[in-house]
Amino acid sequence: MFISTAYAQTAPAAAQGGIESSLMSLLPLILMFVVLYFIMIRPQMKRQKEHKAMVDALAKGDEVVTAGGLYGKISKVGESNLHIEVAEGVEVMVQRQAVTQVLPKGSIK
């Protein structure tokens, strides 16, 4: 009385052109990956490459900024770390990778 009768539906017709339809269904996924690569992955790889080149080129006397916000002049250069003079007579040892920016000469008074 309250429940109507349910009838089975017929199965949908099979899609024609099997390979073309499967490629067309993958097309949005492929396009999303291509856009993701050019918007996110490629610029990040470029930034990493530039940072590595900057870190490799560090030398004694360069004025730098670290990731922690310390400004200073490089006084000693090691293989994996640097000694940065942040004030007269005060040196801090940091990893090379912690340097985020090289300043122009004469920036630090």
Q: Distance (Å, rounded) from C-alpha 101 to C-alpha 84?
A: 13
Helix (H, G, I), strand (E, B) or coil at 35: helix
Q: Are 72 and 64 in contact (CB under 8 A)?
A: yes
* 98: amino acid identity, one letter: A
At the topology level, CATH places domain 59-109 in SH3 type barrels. (2.30.30)
* 48: amino acid identity, one letter: Q
Flag whether pLDDT at 80 surpasses 80: yes
Q: What is the pLDDT of residues 42-76, one digit of tens each?
A: 999 999 999 999 999 999 999 999 999 999 999 99
Flag the least confident range among 11-15, 29-33, 50-54: 11-15
Locate the domains of the chain by residue range. 18-57, 59-109
Return the higher-pLDDT residue of 58 and 9: 58
